[in-house]
Amino acid sequence: MAPAQGQYSDHSDGVEGKDRAEGPTVPPAFLAAVDALRSARLRPELEVEVTRPPQRLAPHAYAMEAAVVDGEDDLADGRLVLLHDPAGHDAWQGAFRLVTLVRAELEPEMAADPLLPEVCWSWLTGALDARGLSYGEAGGTVTRAGSHYFGALSTRRPATQIEIRASWTPRESRGGVPDAASHLMAWGDLLCQIAGLPPSDPADAAVVTLPQRRGPQVS
């Protein structure tokens, strides 16, 4: 697994399914989608690690964690899970589903913006649309949470974190395999955008980004 961009660390095969104890019967469509994820080209600011996926959401699952890194600072982090049910799933309207969690700490002036949740959701759909991806049944939540510190922690500045939880169904090709690599790249675009990094493509210069954030505050 040696992508041209991004930094990967692979500590596990990351593939889970009911059939792991019953024999090597992982569907070829799922294996093809996983191979596409593992070969995706990502921005160099992204550090990606394969991790153990949830075991009860679907017969087959593959999970990745990523962080947007600037020096020693993590500007944003997230998790992306690919689910597959060969029999299809009524709620998904398909055989594959992508589930994500993305988090970042915000500057105070951005945290106060009443339209921030709507803007963050538009970043997700915009990242998918910008890569020309076909998807459906998108849904999720955007949560803004504030922390104020007291006592021994009172020297820390108030902090606000934005969190996006979402899922969507990637449309499958005629061979029954979604363009998983492009969906991962779009997800990477979202992570970099919420981290406040400028767009990697000059053609995307009109995209609004958060100002680059400081690293975690240390007491």
Query: How much is the mean pLDDT over the chain?
Result: 80
- The structure's pTM equals 0.80
Buried-exposed string 10-40: b where 16+ CB fall within 10 A, e elsewhere: eeeebbbbeeeeeeeebbebbeebbebbbeb
Token pair of 11, please?
């500590």
Is the per-residue pLDDT at 24 higher than 60? no
- DSSP β-ladder status, 94-106 and 135-147: unpaired
Task: Give phi and psi for 81, each to the nearest 5.
Answer: -120, 130
Report, as an integer, the average pLDDT of 169-190.
93
Q: Are the beta carbons of 46 and 68 closer than 8 angstroms?
A: yes
| Rounded-to-integer distance, Cα 73 and Cα 68, Å | 8
Across the range 33-59, mean pLDDT stands at 91
pLDDT category of residue 108 using cuts at 50, 70 and 90: low
